[in-house]
Amino acid sequence: MTEGRTTGSARAFELLEPLVQAATVRVHAPPDGYGTAGTGPTWGSGFFIAPGWVLTCAHVVGEGGAAVRLTGREVGITFQSGRYAGNEAATGTVTGRVECVLPERLDERRPARRALWDLPDLALVRVLAPVSHACVWLTDRSRPRFDEVAYFGCTEDLGTPEITGRTTRLRGTAGNGAAIRLGDDDEIDPGMSGGPVVDLARGEVVGVVKARRNTGGGGLAVSVVQLRTLPTAGRGQTGLYRRVMQAHDLHHYDQHLSDLNTRRTWTDAHGELPAPDGDPYGGRGRLTPGERTTLGGLLAELPPPGSSEVVRALVEAARGEEPDPHPPAPLSWRDGLGLLYDPPGGAGEAAAMLRYATDVSVADHREPPTPGADEELWDWVRATAERLWRPLRRELGERHERGLAERARRRRASAGRAAHGPARTAGGLPPGASVLLEVWAHGWEEVFDWRVSVLAGPARPGRVTPVDSGVRVSPARLPEALRAPLAEAFRRCDTHEAAALLEVAVEPELFGLAVDEWALVGGVPLGVQRPVVLRHPVGGGAPEAAVRWARVQGGPLLDERADCVRGRPRSPSAQWLAGLADNTVPVHCRAAALEPTLGSLHAVRQAGYGVVVCRRPPADPGESCAPFHRGLREELADAGRAQVLPLRLQALRGRAYGADPDAYWAAGTALVWDDPARALPEDEPLQGDL
């Protein structure tokens, strides 16, 4: 169908259609060993994104199995094989197993039949046998272009299943960018769910067909960038997203370099697409398709970055401005390339990408790269720069030399630590970015405003990157409202070495907010997954705070009951607090929102104490606080210094979660941690709509 297409998009469709069709699959029930393989009703479509990996919609793999757990379910995949019968590509059928669904809660809470499934409604399927097949080219951009696209999937217009494509335009986004709206230029048949949506101007897959409108044409697709929300890996492991995208880039790199057949590759098609407008450098402002494919392959041969913030820092250095904070966070080196398009001030994309590649070649990787891989990347940068400007070649050479010298300096400085060990003080927090959650109460109303941000940390004091915010949320809905924003912030800050610190900045009245007990990701409480601390909002600090902070960090630690004496409440005086030793940790055992504890928490802060312990008291008001104080005194004595307390409290929470009776005394314990090196934002919160 060519109605409504421009000349350029019609040519692009002709070039891309066979490539997309070759990688698009029909999803159905798994082969049972009796009937003809590939027969039976069509559940939907999918497409190969890397060797052995099919992307589709979660509702497609959930077809006909309301009581079946999605993850681990087996499905049938009918695809075009690499073999040909005459002029026609032969088809094959293979069994696949659902590796993961998004959102993960779909495994526990499935929508009703014919209801719209929760975004992002994606499923990643692992093929259970080695087969020869094609793969699509996935976009690396974090935002789609609202332009002409083609969508593909399985239809049965002529009575037999076949992969067909239709064209339309993108009309906007939905679901905070997770979904993209497809225009009503044509209809979406039911079997097309899970099929790819292709940007015709750039020749890249940007979405997955999700739903059609009840009347007329058009519908919704899911942005493929939502793949970045796949579950992150444990310490020292490579996450599923990074594994799959590495395989994607290496597949296209190998296809580009191979001379074993003459079939057109995605890189070939990119080179034949109508040239984009707006290159003032006469072709030198952008990498050629072959150069872009080669760069992606060379980056994929390196170990993945240690964290999202590493990628963002290198992008900012190459681009000359802070990259787009729009989620999801960049997780791989290729994601960084996607943030380098259209650099500011009319600077060329090619120059920005070569600067970025230069910096990656001299970066500290999470494990040693394959021998020669970083040198090969630099050799390619230097050779590619030969066709660009001489000043850029000189700049890249100087940049590389500076990077090598800086890397050598870092390695000398870390020679005393275990190889590739955490860059932290022994037993203390890592010095990198942390996640900041701010919550504000609406006076006497039982609703909260909130904001989630990334706090850059001591290396970049005062640098705060917003993630998301909301207003007027009830206490019961607060954990669910914060599930996605906190997961996004953790993806940005977690490294392969450690889970990032979560800092909860609230007024003392809200110190009883049980954030450490929220089970938002993987069913495990946040306080078990990572260190969680409380903070006072900006302002109100005492002149003595810096001295007390430095003294308590080095220890030894002295505990002092601030709001009780032998189980009876008391209010500490300012004079008494001022006379305590600087290495004292004031301890509170009663409810933070009630007196005398609320007044004590304010007084302790005004006296300059930056490390304070409090707790949510047990449900039984008659239960003695003596076990809590006894256990805490032993813990502080064993810790010796305050800098290890956030991680020790995390370990205590983990022991209690694992049913260790010796750690039950710590239930509800919270640590106030007002680190002067991690400055908080000073702007006021929103107060809801007028």
Per-residue pLDDT tens over the stretch 300-311: 999 999 889 899
- Give the Cα-Cα-Cα angle 542, 545, 547 (nearest 5 degrees): 135
Cβ atoms of 221 and 209 closer than 8 Å = yes
* Amino acid at the residue 673: W
Which is more confidently placed, 326 or 475?
475
Per-residue pLDDT tens over the stretch 617-665: 998 888 899 999 999 999 999 999 999 999 999 999 999 999 999 999 9
How far is the C-alpha of 403 from the C-alpha of 359, rounded, in Å?
A: 7
Q: Which distant-in-sequence residues (6+ apart) come within 8 Å of 676 by Cβ?
A: 545, 546, 549, 610
Q: Is the pLDDT of residue 419 over 60?
A: no
> What is the value of pTM for the model shown?
0.84
Per-residue pLDDT tens over the stretch 346-390: 668 999 999 999 999 999 887 888 889 999 999 999 999 998 888
Residue 38, by phi and psi: left (phi above 0), alpha (psi -120 to 50) or beta? left
DSSP for 602-666 reads HHHHHTT--EEEEE---S-TTS-SHHHHHHHHHHHHHH-SGGGHHHHHHHHHHHHHTT-GGGGGG
Going by pLDDT thresholds of 50, 70 and 90, the confidence category of residue 425 is low
Q: What is the pLDDT of residue 260?
A: 83
Q: What is the pLDDT of residue 278?
A: 56
> What are 102's two structure tokens?
């998004």
Beta-bridge partners for 493: none
Place of tokens 């999470």: 366
Residue 460, by phi and psi: left (phi above 0), alpha (psi -120 to 50) or beta? beta
Cβ atoms of 686 and 438 closer than 8 Å = no
* Amino acid at the residue 607: A
Per-residue pLDDT tens over the stretch 77-103: 999 876 544 445 678 899 999 999 999
Per-residue pLDDT tens over the stretch 2-52: 444 567 789 999 999 999 999 999 999 998 755 555 567 999 999 999 999
> What are 458's two structure tokens?
């001591």
Q: What is the pLDDT of residue 39?
A: 64
Backbone angles phi, psi at 233, to 5 degrees: -85, 165
Cβ atoms of 609 and 560 closer than 8 Å = no
Per-residue pLDDT tens over the stretch 515-560: 999 998 778 999 999 999 999 997 666 888 999 999 999 989 999 9
Which is more confidently placed, 267 or 236?
267
User: Any idea of the CA torsion for 628, 630, 631, 635, to the nearest 10 degrees?
Assistant: 130
Radius of gyration of the chain (CA): 28
Q: Which distant-in-sequence residues (6+ apart) come within 8 Å of 498 by Cβ?
A: 235, 422, 424, 430
Task: Tell me which of 279-293, 384-398, 562-576, 666-680 is least confident.
Answer: 279-293
Cβ atoms of 157 and 164 closer than 8 Å = yes
Q: What is the pLDDT of residue 422?
A: 42
> What are 608's two structure tokens?
């300059």
Residue 187, by phi and psi: left (phi above 0), alpha (psi -120 to 50) or beta? beta
Per-residue pLDDT tens over the stretch 105-159: 887 777 777 778 999 999 999 999 999 999 999 999 988 888 899 999 999 877 7
> How many Cα neighbours within 13 Å face the side chain of 526?
24
Task: Tell me which of 141-150, 154-163, 179-188, 213-222 is least confident.
Answer: 213-222
Backbone angles phi, psi at 226, to 5 degrees: -65, -15
Q: Which distant-in-sequence residues (6+ apart) come within 8 Å of 129 by Cβ?
A: 94, 95
> What are 614's two structure tokens?
């409090």
Contacts 24+ apart (CB under 8 A), 487-491: 487/229, 487/520, 487/521, 488/229, 488/327, 488/328, 488/329, 488/452, 489/435, 489/452, 489/453, 489/454, 490/232, 490/435, 490/521, 490/530, 491/228, 491/229, 491/232, 491/308, 491/328, 491/329, 491/331
H helix runs in 212-265, sequence order: 240-257
